[in-house]
Chains A and B, each alone.
Chain A
């Protein structure tokens, strides 16, 4: 076989792309993975999930050390922030990971090509590497080009004073005041980082609630908690313009429904209103690959686009824009290509917000069930009644389980509290097997663990809680 011919060429080396590449290699395909960034891991690894979690943890430790150890009988003096060191740690974690993924591709004999891919015809991908062009022939092409920051008209991002999440992960100074435009996951997480490091943070959100799409009770509880931590909120408001001056940014803020504008100033403005699919430069229009109204590539249940032989996964197609969703897409798409029954259950993709307290959700929210006309029973249990949480001194939040009123089948689980992001997977496992709330209640949970809260929430639906 020619060195430029592959069974599968994947354009994009993020979590969707590289995972699909490895799976395809496991299934015996010859695979090339084309990525223009210069490193693998996509948005997630380079300017998303991983660096943000590193900073979230570091900043949480900083705040805890500086202000939170007294309760534990630990006296601490002279805690200082070394922002450069914190960023350096984050950078090292990111680069270690990028190298790790390169190693994984090598181990699975996937050809990694650095360059910008363009589909010139069905079965043909041209990769621009500097001034040169490498032409590949592909049995199948998988587009995994992900997403980009959604721009806000009137607010031009310069990544210095008006920044996106990318800039927010690399500021070299703690801003005195930071305005976050957008009360979604990214805005709240990054806002939390800088608040902990000393910034005054204000969140301006267009809707009347935070984290749209998540269970409303979770959103309310999170807002209350962040407010207690010092974040101020301006809901139902929009930013119509932002101008970066020499030392700060001046914004025009109006009520979302229209009304009197006011001026708001900040040192740094973070634009976090969302992300949109990215498919520029691939040549899709010439090929006739159909996009939907939002710019997502339309695909069928086997992830094939309107043009046979061209597939797409991850943020560039519809569905939650999450790294783990992209990974599931990638595996399913490749398995479909191999004639297997690849499938993703989008109802069971957990959503996690890495604020403190953490938020985690899987399945349907109360609002969704009500809209669907499904009769459900609700069981809720607070961490304040959980021994481990109390012993840790971190007992904010609750676990809520929604189950079908007739069959007791678990339809949705929503948590807010320390480690919710880990705890949600118990729910995922039970729901994957069609389990009932009673099943959760009858599974032995270790003591003392936070997970007992999940058990009690399940008991609340059935025979009644024991510990409340």
Chain B
């Protein structure tokens, strides 16, 4: 009996998706629930699980093609043995899927982008270095890879194929052996690009700066680190302080928490703070719901979980929709100062940066203090200068004296 694999409902406003990657090839055995294909939408990438076990007998849409919600992705022959199951690791470190040959070998051999088999020496190098053979230019007969091609790729710092479970790591420099490399833009990146331009083109975006002495926050962290972790099972980071400080400031300056919709300004009585996370696929912003009601521990826990999901590519659309304000942190990458870009349709975004010891005037003395520059970009159409500056001052005050958060001052 055959079962169809159809595109599931993806989210309220999502009507179509692009096929990112097929994890299984025609003829392969599948177990029910096993992810068989990856779909890319504007907001998120998700995996479609097999509706039944058996053999994949047909792939109806190829990688890179677009399909509507409810469209036919492929067909499974239930219960059929299919080609002998693959025992080696996921296709991520192998390459462009090749239909399993009729004689069904136990393991799918790695191939180049052109579908050429790899010679023994090349195969060994590719496997040992976790390379994606399809990303290396072949200079051999008919575009095959020769050993020299792989050696050149490795010596020029060619990166291992991005493995799904790895944390966001900066990708390697482009191989020296090519002057150019053409890589298809993922759907996610395209959408990010569109939204960034949209933000720039729509809002009257400005940035205001301030600086904060992180001594108090750091003191609180070091004093209560062990007790906090012991009680709450999660580390006391910086983000909880920043989120709570921002919530306080947003409550005082509601325009920053509002958005423009047509001719209206929509003020919101809830505080859903987006926390930007960098992943190999691009920047994603999962949202902390009702941050005003969360305690420090809950903030840390939720952020930890959302960050993990983001890097694994497992965020759902609901988790990324509807934020009212965003916090982004360039400091982890070493940024001292920057002008963050708004996350439309929001009207404000706080940029955190690197904490660096600087000589500061304290009373009549000069002392080294751990300082962080704060940046707040805002939509000047509904947030005026005074509000923006005050917002940032308020955040600074709460951070420099965290008791204010407790006292709602």
User: A residues bordering B, Cβ < 8 Å?
Assistant: 404, 406-409, 432-436, 438-439, 441-443
Contacts and interface: CB of A to CB of B under 8 A. Distances in A.
A436 B141 contact: no
Interface string B226-237: 000000000000
Contacts of A407: 146-148, 151-152
Nearest to A433: B141
Interface string B381-407: 000000000000000000000000000
B215 interface: no
30 contacts: A404-B148, A406-B148, A406-B151, A407-B146, A407-B147, A407-B148, A407-B151, A407-B152, A408-B121, A409-B146, A432-B141, A433-B119, A433-B144, A434-B140, A434-B141, A434-B148, A435-B119, A435-B121, A435-B147, A436-B119, A436-B146, A436-B148, A438-B120, A438-B121, A438-B124, A439-B120, A439-B122, A442-B120, A442-B121, A442-B124
A434 to B, nearest CB: 4
B109 to A, nearest CB: 14
Contacts of A432: 141
A362 B152 CA distance: 26
Nearest to A436: B147
B2 interface: no
Interface in B113-128: 119-122, 124
B139 interface: yes
A442 B122 CA distance: 11
A407 B147 CA distance: 6
B326 to A, nearest CB: 50
Contacts of B144: 433-434
A438 B141 contact: no
Given A433-B141, A434-B140, A434-B141, A409 B148 contact: yes
Contacts of A434: 139-141, 144, 146, 148
Contact of A409 (B120, B124, B141, B147): B147
Contacts of B119: 433, 435-436, 439
Contacts of B122: 439
Contacts of A439: 119-122, 147
Contacts of B152: 407
A454 B220 CA distance: 71
B391 to A, nearest CB: 60
Contacts of A436: 119, 121, 146-148
A408 B146 CA distance: 9
A439 B121 CA distance: 5
A454 to B, nearest CB: 15
A438 B123 CA distance: 11
Contacts of B141: 432-434
Given A434-B141, A434-B148, 20 more contacts: A404-B148, A406-B151, A407-B146, A407-B148, A407-B151, A408-B121, A408-B148, A409-B148, A433-B119, A434-B139, A434-B144, A435-B140, A435-B147, A436-B119, A436-B147, A436-B148, A438-B124, A438-B147, A439-B121, A443-B120
Contacts of B121: 408, 435-436, 438-439, 441-442
Contacts of A409: 146-148
Contacts of B148: 404, 406-409, 434, 436
The 8 A-B pairs of least Cβ separation, nearest first, read A407-B148, A442-B120, A438-B121, A436-B147, A434-B140, A434-B146, A439-B121, A439-B119
Report the interface size class on chain B.
Answer: 10 to 19
A442 B120 CA distance: 6
A407 B145 CA distance: 12
A436 B121 CA distance: 7
Given A442-B120, A442-B124, A443-B120, A435 B151 contact: no
A432 B148 CA distance: 15
Most buried by A among B140, B141, B147: B147
B146 A435 contact: yes
A441 to B, nearest CB: 8
A342 B320 CA distance: 59
A277 to B, nearest CB: 32
Contacts of B151: 406-408
A241 to B, nearest CB: 53
Nearest to B142: A433
A439 B140 CA distance: 13
A252 to B, nearest CB: 53
A442 B151 CA distance: 17
B145 to A, nearest CB: 9
A436 B119 CA distance: 9
Most buried by A among B121, B141, B144, B152: B121
B97 to A, nearest CB: 24
Contacts of B140: 433-435
Nearest to A462: B121
Nearest to A438: B121
B208 to A, nearest CB: 56
Contacts of A438: 120-121, 124, 147
A265 B215 CA distance: 108
A458 B330 CA distance: 52
A408 B120 contact: no
B117 to A, nearest CB: 11
A435 B140 CA distance: 8
Contacts of B124: 438, 442
A130 B162 CA distance: 78
A408 B148 CA distance: 7
A436 B120 CA distance: 9
A438 B120 CA distance: 8
Contacts of A435: 119, 121, 140, 146-147
A387 to B, nearest CB: 23
Nearest to A442: B120
A442 B127 CA distance: 15
A406 B122 CA distance: 14
A433 B121 CA distance: 13
A271 to B, nearest CB: 42
A101 to B, nearest CB: 31
A83 to B, nearest CB: 49
Nearest to B147: A436
Interface in B90-145: 119-122, 124, 139-141, 144
